[in-house]
A = this chain, B = another copy of it.
Amino acid sequence: MRKTLLLLGIGLCSLQHPVFSQTGTITGFTKESSAKQQALEQQFDGLLNAKNVGNTIQELSAKPHAIGSPGSKAVADAILAKFKQWGWDAQIETYQVLFPTPVTRVLEMTSPTQYTAILKEPALKEDGTSAVEGQLPTYNAWSADGDVTAPLVFVNYGLPSDYETLAKMGVDVKGKIVIAKYGRSWRGIKPKVAYEHGAVGCIIYSDPKDDGYSRGDVYPKGPFKNEYGVQRGSVMDMVIYPGDPLTPGVGATENAQRLDRKDATTILKIPVLPISYHDAQPLLAALDGPVAPADWTGGLPITYHVGPGKAVVHLKLAFDWKIRPAYDVIAKIKGSTYPDEWVIRGNHHDAWVFGAADPIAGQSAMLEEARAIGELVKKGWQPKRTLVYCAWDGEEPGLLGSTEWAEDHGKELQQKAVVYINSDGNGRGFLNAEGSHALNHFMYQISETVKDPETGVSIFKRRIAEQMVHAISDEKKQALMNQHTLELGAMGSGSDYSSFIQHLGVPCLDLGFGGEDAGGEYHSIYDSWDMYRRFKDPTFAYGVALAQTAGRAALRMAEADVLPFDFRSLHKTVDGYINELMQNVQQMRMSTMVENKMIATRQFELAADPTKKMVFPTEKPAVPYLDFSPIQNAIVALKTGSDSLAKTWEKMLNNPGMQAKFNEALYRAEQQLLSLNGLPRRPWYKHTLYAPGFYTGYGVKTMPGIREAIEQRNWQEAQEQIKVDAAAIQQLAAYLAKAAQL
Residues of A participating in the B interface, judged by any CB pair closer than 8 Å: 208-209, 213-218, 222, 224, 291, 294, 297, 299-304, 429, 454-455, 457, 461-462, 464-466, 468-470, 474, 477-478, 481, 516, 587, 590-591, 594, 597-598, 601-607, 609-611
User: What are 29 inter-chain pairs, A to B, with CB distance below 8 A?
Assistant: A213-B301, A213-B302, A214-B304, A216-B291, A217-B291, A222-B291, A224-B303, A299-B299, A299-B301, A300-B301, A429-B609, A455-B605, A461-B606, A462-B606, A465-B603, A465-B604, A465-B607, A466-B607, A468-B603, A468-B607, A469-B603, A469-B604, A470-B607, A474-B587, A474-B590, A474-B594, A477-B598, A481-B594, A516-B611
Is the Cβ of B469 less than 8 Å from the Cβ of A303?
Answer: no
A465→B601 CA distance, assembly (Å): 9
Is the Cβ of B301 less than 8 Å from the Cβ of A594?
Answer: no
Closest residue on chain B to residue A470 by CB atoms: B607
**How far is the CB of A626 from the nearest CB of chain B, in Å?**
19
Chain B residues with Cβ below 8 Å from A606 are 455, 457, 461-462, 465-466
Is the Cβ of B609 less than 8 Å from the Cβ of A516?
Answer: yes
* Contact pick for A208, options B301, B481, B591, CB 8 Å: B301
Is the Cβ of A474 less than 8 Å from the Cβ of B591?
Answer: yes
Is the Cβ of A607 less than 8 Å from the Cβ of B469?
Answer: yes
Could you say which of A215, A216, A222, A454 has the most chain B C-beta atoms within 10 Å of its C-beta? A216
A610→B294 CA distance, assembly (Å): 36
A636→B337 CA distance, assembly (Å): 79
**How far is the CB of A516 from the nearest CB of chain B, in Å?**
5
A478→B593 CA distance, assembly (Å): 10
A591→B475 CA distance, assembly (Å): 9
A456→B588 CA distance, assembly (Å): 32
Q: Take A477-B598, A606-B462 as given contacts and tell me if A303 and B222 are in contact as well, using a CB distance cutoff of 8 Å.
A: yes
Is the Cβ of B481 less than 8 Å from the Cβ of A213?
Answer: no
Is the Cβ of B601 less than 8 Å from the Cβ of A481?
Answer: yes
Closest residue on chain B to residue A609 by CB atoms: B516
Chain B residues with Cβ below 8 Å from A462 are 606-607
Could you say which of A291, A464, A598, A603 has the most chain B C-beta atoms within 10 Å of its C-beta? A603
Is the Cβ of A477 less than 8 Å from the Cβ of B516?
Answer: no
Is the Cβ of B299 less than 8 Å from the Cβ of A477?
Answer: no
Q: Take A469-B603, A590-B474 as given contacts and tell me if A610 and B454 are in contact as well, using a CB distance cutoff of 8 Å.
A: yes
Q: Take A469-B604, A607-B465 as given contacts and tell me if A478 and B594 are in contact as well, using a CB distance cutoff of 8 Å.
A: yes
